[in-house]
Amino acid sequence: MQKIDILLADLKINIEHKYDYISYLCKDYISQSDTPDIIAKADNAAILKEKELVPSAPIESCESLCIYRAIGERLPHFDRFVFHGAAIEYGGNAYLFTAPSGTGKTTHINLWKQYLGDKVDIINGDKPIIKAGNISTVYGTPWAGKEGYQRNTSAPLKAICILKQGKENKITKLELAEAVNHLMRQVYLPSDPSALSKTLELLGTVIENTPVYILECDISKEAFETSFNQMAKL
């Protein structure tokens, strides 16, 4: 068994691993630490179970997902949780776009990149970490989806946008109950009851302090302008 130390979402994490892939994946986050906040590892049974779910996935990739799940189980005790979404930074703030897989998160953040250029930085394309607070923080992670869009950086969260395919481009701000209903599906929910309860509390804090919108859109420039003008334009 090998070990590496990383700094992830301002937490010191020690990872015990079998395959070299995890060291490559986390290369931008390597950081020596004396006393880790979290120790994460994946046993063979968990890895093989992951492999059964996606038989085509390389075994080392299965291990990495199991390790991230192990980290996700512990994060709520540090006021953090894993979120399924694509996070970008613009003007010093983070904007988080979420939707079921295949609905267009990557396409939409690429529209922001297309029309704003170097003013936009992609924090993470699939599984960022959120630290909840009066002003929540979004962190990049090595687990970033098939495109691998990620940076070891962070930014204060200004808005969350739920994407929905539509024939016209329109954006609507959601009430608290509606936002909870949509976003619950995009949060990693730990198996441990205390961590699960804490995660729900943290999600509530994020939603109470962050505007949440639903964007019905296509893949046009107007789709970008609709989201940008509502969430980011001063």
What is the DSSP pairing of strand 38-41 with strand 11-17? parallel
The phi and psi torsions of 146 (rounded to 5 degrees) equal: -65, -25
179's tokens: 């936002």
* Architecture of the structural domain at 80-231: Alpha-Beta Complex (3.90)
List the domain boundaries for the chain.
2-77, 80-231
* Residue 214, CA distances (Å) to 52, 101, 171, 183, 207 in order: 35, 16, 6, 11, 13
pLDDT tens for 50-109 read 999 889 999 999 999 999 999 999 999 999 999 999 999 999 999 999 987 767 788 899
User: DSSP state, 28?
Assistant: G
Residue range 177-217, pLDDT digits in tens? 999 999 999 999 999 999 999 999 999 999 999 999 999 98
**Rounded distance between C-alpha atoms, residue 176 and residue 212, angstroms:** 8
H or E, element range at 41 = strand 38-41
pLDDT in tens, 20-60: 999 999 999 999 878 999 999 999 999 999 999 889 999 99
The rounded distance, in Å, linking the Cα atoms of 43 and 76 is: 22
Beta bridge partners of 96: 87, 160
Residue-level pLDDT at 145 = 84
Q: CB of 210 within 8 A of CB of 134? A: no
Q: Both tokens of residue 222?
A: 């107007």
The per-residue DSSP string of 158-194 comes to EEEEEEEE-SS-EEEEPPHHHHHHHHGGGB---SSHH
DSSP string, 97-122: EE-STTSSHHHHHHHHHHHHGGGEEE
